[in-house]
Amino acid sequence: MGEQARVTHHELLQRLQDPWLSLVDVLPEESYAEAHIPGAISLPLRKIRENGRNVLRDLNREIVVYCSGPASNLSEEAVALLKELGYRNVRRFEGGLRGWKESGGALEQQAGAKAAGTGQKRRQIGLSPRLQLLERSSFVTLLFAWLGMVLLFGLIYELGRIIPGSGLKENGRLLGHSFHDFLTAMYFSFVTATSVGFGDVVPVGSLRLLAIMESGLALLLFGVIVTKLVNNRQEDLLEEIHQIAFEDRLSRVRTNLHFVLMELQQIEGESRHKAFAPERVMPRLESAIMVFVGELKSIHDLLQGPHETTLDTTIESMLAGLAANLRQLRDLLDRDSENSDSTDSFAALAFNAILSPHLKSIRKLATEICRECASRQPTQALKYWLDEIQSLAQF
């Protein structure tokens, strides 16, 4: 399949809100209910021929399909089927659901599936207060708890001989009162707690039940320790993944802000020619503004995220880029109509039914971004950019 039939992650991210694009999930309904790319519609591969025309009515509409990832060929089959049905503009997102997730993309769930999954998870992890206490304990606490258990059971094994028919036997001899016998009882408690039990010392009578109980408690403690080790490693890995995704998202914000600035500057340069027609450039202007709104949302989300330390070193450059874009947009929209033809007035076009909602979104998001930054006790330099943004965003 040619490169022109593929959609990159970057392009898809920028066009999620594009009303002219239909994003189609061709995985089974169960997969769609569990997780899908925001805004995607469900049209499983096996139902395309049957329901394709009902779900996608416009044969000229731009369609992007995706499956689980590069290892699956469902999206290729879906593209072929849709073209066979007469759709003229069909492409596929090669990264699929897995690639989208690995690149830091958000996922959606169907409301019912999400609620059911949450309830099931809660039922599965419902622990008693005692087990929760163990799970919250440190490694040192668990180690001392294990050693204390070994000593306690060792003493009980030593005293168990006072129960008729009970005690510990070593090579057929019932242990007595000597110090050697006491150490043997401790040895037996230790090997029982490690679940290795060499067999040279065996319990007799009711102490057998006690040995089973000690072995079970030891296994429980070992399970908690192993779980904590695995969870700690998983938390480290997740933190690394989140950091990588955060840095990638931050880089995309900077790149897209630069793209918007270049596009606005180019539009302004073209507007100086006499043959320039504003109505012809409006789609480009609207597209650039929509990208800008998307990046404002990304900046707002980044400010609300847990990466405050990382943001402290980059927030000033982000705000400077944001202010540069707002300034360029204002220069473009607030051109002096007295020195230009009446049909060449961006101010008139700016507040029509097309651009007005986007400009309101810009004003709202810019205000929220400034509020978030102000709550972080900004420096003098940051205060300057915040004042600039507040002033420039008043469309």
Say which range, 229-243, 341-355, 377-391, has the weakest mean pLDDT.
341-355
Residue 292 lies in a domain: yes
Does position 284 have pLDDT exceeding 80, yes or no? yes
Q: How far is CA 154 from the centre of its chain?
A: 49
- Looking at the structure, do residues 268 and 370 belong to the same domain, yes or no? yes
| Size of the chain, expressed as the number of residues it contains | 395
Pair (165, 314) in one structural domain: no
What pLDDT does residue 381 have?
A: 78
User: Per DSSP, what are the bridge partners of residue 170?
Assistant: 173, 201
- Check: CB of residue 383 under 8 Å from CB of residue 323: no
pTM of the model: 0.43
Number of domains in the chain: 3
| 127 vs 255: which has the higher pLDDT | 255
- Cα gap 176→192, rounded to integer Å: 20
312 band by pLDDT with thresholds 50, 70 and 90: low
Residues 240 and 351 in one domain: yes
Place of tokens 């040192």: 140
Is 340 a member of any domain? Answer: yes
Structural domain of residue 341, as residue ranges? 234-392
Provide the β-strand partners of residue 168: 203
The confidence band for 125, taking pLDDT boundaries of 50, 70 and 90, is: very low
For residues 140 and 114, membership in a common domain is answered with no
Higher pLDDT, 133 or 254: 254
Q: Is 193 in contact with 150 (CB distance < 8 Å)?
A: yes
Is residue 58 located within the same domain as residue 109?
yes
